[in-house]
């Protein structure tokens, strides 16, 4: 309640009542709007004198609210789509960066000179194929640079290397970095591996003891997986034709890497025999059928024969082309000498004291002799070889003597039937891919 000091005459009615009139009642107008189910608002375009005037208006319909919601959804969707496209772009860019690092690059001869520091130092090897240097790329990555001898061959070795190894990305295959074909100068660049080749360890009792037989078994298993990849993991089968310790390099963790595809051939994956006009490979590791088709067709089984010889060299620490003369002056082929001792239950004469190591050695020998069976039909697939290397030695079946198969009366497949091991034998002759 408030005190009113004076009241205008016009506010007093004839009955003596006092009537007060407000100039404008917003609450009364809004109450009327609410009674009609409407909202009220100030008139936006009113003049100064009636700026306080209010008016009713209908509430927004559901369609307006729904439209706003849909607009919001569209805006959010467009944002997410833009973000996804941006993420996809970054993903592609990262892939291309990795791909550029993996894809073999072509270098000029000037680049090669820069990588090798003008061939002044870091020469790591030399042979009939050419000279090998240790080099360094601009990103401080060390590489092996093989300068091919341009007076040897017609360039087929170079083409084989670039075509075959340039498409392979497998943990047990040497990584191919790039190449140079500048006039008559041809160069191959690979990742650099610090531990030399398996030949250093396989032919030395001291280095073999340093590695340990468990590690040698792991190395053999890694090589087998690499060869299995040649047979099953590529679009076309790769026949290496030169599997030997010298062509197995070891990385800093002593993981094996297969290298040197200069003599390799490609053939269809569905068909597994290749015709050849000349023998290829290294004496001591070449399968009999590569020399003479009287022993069977040349196929992926030729790789398996070479791998078997590699295993026997790991076991004996001697070149497979070496001969051993016994006390009766009888000359024996070294792998045959190993088989005779294994067959008679004698120690292999390589000074193994630990029982577990002895089991590993016998396992490697047994698997090796399965791989060098005289006829390709009697050799296991590389998949089966891996199973044998992983399995228990006591469960392995000792193979027949592969050296008696030189007897003309020996029937191809007899060794397989004798040991009751069934390997795939239906090989179809095809023409090699050039």
DSSP string, 68-94: HHHHHHHHHHHHHHHHHHHHHHHHHHH
Check whether residue 175 and residue 304 sit in a common domain. Answer: no
- Tally of domains within the chain: 3
Q: How far apart are CA 308 and CA 22, in angstroms?
A: 114
Quick one: which H or E segment has residue 359? helix 355-371
**Cα dihedral sign, 184-189-192-196:** negative
**Among candidates 174, 89, 184, which has minimal Cα distance to 130?**
184
Check whether residue 381 and residue 272 sit in a common domain. Answer: yes
Query: In this structure, is residue 290 part of a structural domain?
Result: yes
Check whether residue 160 and residue 208 sit in a common domain. Answer: no
Check whether residue 186 and residue 211 sit in a common domain. Answer: no
Task: State residue 38's pLDDT score.
Answer: 75
Q: How far apart are CA 224 and CA 364, in angstroms?
A: 12
Given 191, 213, 240, the domain boundary residue is 191
Task: State residue 205's pLDDT score.
Answer: 57
Query: In this structure, is residue 112 part of a structural domain?
Result: yes
Task: State residue 209's pLDDT score.
Answer: 59
Check whether residue 350 and residue 243 sit in a common domain. Answer: yes
Check whether residue 210 and residue 312 sit in a common domain. Answer: yes
Contact 373, 342 (CB under 8 A): no
Query: In this structure, is residue 65 part of a structural domain?
Result: no
Tell me, what DSSP letter sits at residue 383?
H
Given 191, 212, 239, the domain boundary residue is 191
Task: State residue 104's pLDDT score.
Answer: 77
Check whether residue 255 and residue 222 sit in a common domain. Answer: yes
Task: State residue 325's pLDDT score.
Answer: 43
Question: Which parts of the chain have pLDDT scores under 50?
Answer: 22-24, 48, 51, 321, 323-325, 329, 331, 405-410, 416-434
* DSSP-derived secondary structure for 286-328: --HHHH-GGG---BTHHHHHHHHHHHHHHHH-S-TT-EEE-TT
Is 196 labeled as catalytic in the residue annotation? no
CA distances to 180, 183, 186, 250 from 162, in Å:
10, 16, 11, 21
Q: How far apart are CA 62 and CA 162, in angstroms?
A: 69
- 157, 242, 260, 378: the catalytic one is 242
Contact 254, 285 (CB under 8 A): no
Task: State residue 372's pLDDT score.
Answer: 94
Query: In this structure, is residue 71 part of a structural domain?
Result: no
Task: State residue 55's pLDDT score.
Answer: 76
Report the DSSP pairing between strands 323-325 and 39-42.
Answer: unpaired
Task: State residue 323's pLDDT score.
Answer: 47
What is the overall mean pLDDT for the chain? 76
Structural domain range at position 16:
10-57
The 3-state DSSP class for residue 4 equals coil
Dihedral-angle region of residue 21 (phi above 0 means left; psi in -120 to 50 means alpha; beta otherwise): beta
Check whether residue 204 and residue 281 sit in a common domain. Answer: yes
Tell me, what DSSP letter sits at residue 199?
H
Task: State residue 65's pLDDT score.
Answer: 63
CATH number at residue 356: 1.10.510.10
Check whether residue 17 and residue 140 sit in a common domain. Answer: no
Check whether residue 228 and residue 137 sit in a common domain. Answer: no
Query: In this structure, is residue 226 part of a structural domain?
Result: yes
Query: In this structure, is residue 366 part of a structural domain?
Result: yes
Q: How far apart are CA 375 and CA 410, in angstroms?
A: 10
Q: How far apart are CA 172 and CA 161, in angstroms?
A: 16
Check whether residue 207 and residue 232 sit in a common domain. Answer: yes
Check whether residue 45 and residue 109 sit in a common domain. Answer: no
Task: State residue 9's pLDDT score.
Answer: 58
Query: In this structure, is residue 256 part of a structural domain?
Result: yes
Burial of 88-123, coded b for 16+ CB within 10 Å and e otherwise, reads eeeeeeeeeeeeeeeebeebeeebbeebbeeeeebe
CA atoms within a 13 Å half-sphere pointing along the CA-CB vector of 285: 21
């Amino acid at each position: 309640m408030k005190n009113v000091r004076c009241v205008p005459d016009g506010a007093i009615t004839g009955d003596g009542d006092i009537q007060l009139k407000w100039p404008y009642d917003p609450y009364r107008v809004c109450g009327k709007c609410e009674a009609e189910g409407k909202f009220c608002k100030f008139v936006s375009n009113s003049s100064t004198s009636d700026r306080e005037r209010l008016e009713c208006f209908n509430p927004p319909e559901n369609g307006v609210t729904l439209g706003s919601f849909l607009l919001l959804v569209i805006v959010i969707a467009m944002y997410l789509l833009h973000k996804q496209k941006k993420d996809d772009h970054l993903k592609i860019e990262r892939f291309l960066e990795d791909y550029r690092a993996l894809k073999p690059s072509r270098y000029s001869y000037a680049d090669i000179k820069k990588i090798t520091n003008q061939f002044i130092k870091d020469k790591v090897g030399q042979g009939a194929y050419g000279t090998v240097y240790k080099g360094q790329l601009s990103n401080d990555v060390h590489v092996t640079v093989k300068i091919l001898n341009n007076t040897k061959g017609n360039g087929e070795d170079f083409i084989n290397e670039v075509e075959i190894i340039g498409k392979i990305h497998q943990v047990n295959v040497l990584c191919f970095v790039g190449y140079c074909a500048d006039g008559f100068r041809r160069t191959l660049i690979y990742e650099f591996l610090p531990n030399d080749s398996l030949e250093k360890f396989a032919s030395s009792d001291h280095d073999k003891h340093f590695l340990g037989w468990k590690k040698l078994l792991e190395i053999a298993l890694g090589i087998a997986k690499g060869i299995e990849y040649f047979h099953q993991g590529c679009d076309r089968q790769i026949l290496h034709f030169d599997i030997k310790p010298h062509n197995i390099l070891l990385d800093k963790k002593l993981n094996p890497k297969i290298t040197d595809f200069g003599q390799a051939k490609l053939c269809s994956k569905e068909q597994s025999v290749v015709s050849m006009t000349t023998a290829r490979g290294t004496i001591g590791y070449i399968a009999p059928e590569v020399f003479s088709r009287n022993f069977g067709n040349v196929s992926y089984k030729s790789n398996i024969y070479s791998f078997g010889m590699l295993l026997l060299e790991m076991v004996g620490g001697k070149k497979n082309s070496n001969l051993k003369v016994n006390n009766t002056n009888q000359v024996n082929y070294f792998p045959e000498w190993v088989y005779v001792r294994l067959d008679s239950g004698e120690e292999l004469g390589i000074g193994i004291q630990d029982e577990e190591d002895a089991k590993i050695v016998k396992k490697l020998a047994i698997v090796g002799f399965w791989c060098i069976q005289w006829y390709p039909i009697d050799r296991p697939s590389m998949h089966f070889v891996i199973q044998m290397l992983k399995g228990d030695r006591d469960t392995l079946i000792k193979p027949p003597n592969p050296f008696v198969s030189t007897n003309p009366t020996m029937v191809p497949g007899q060794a397989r039937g004798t040991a009751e091991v069934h390997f795939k034998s239906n090989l179809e002759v095809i023409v090699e891919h050039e």
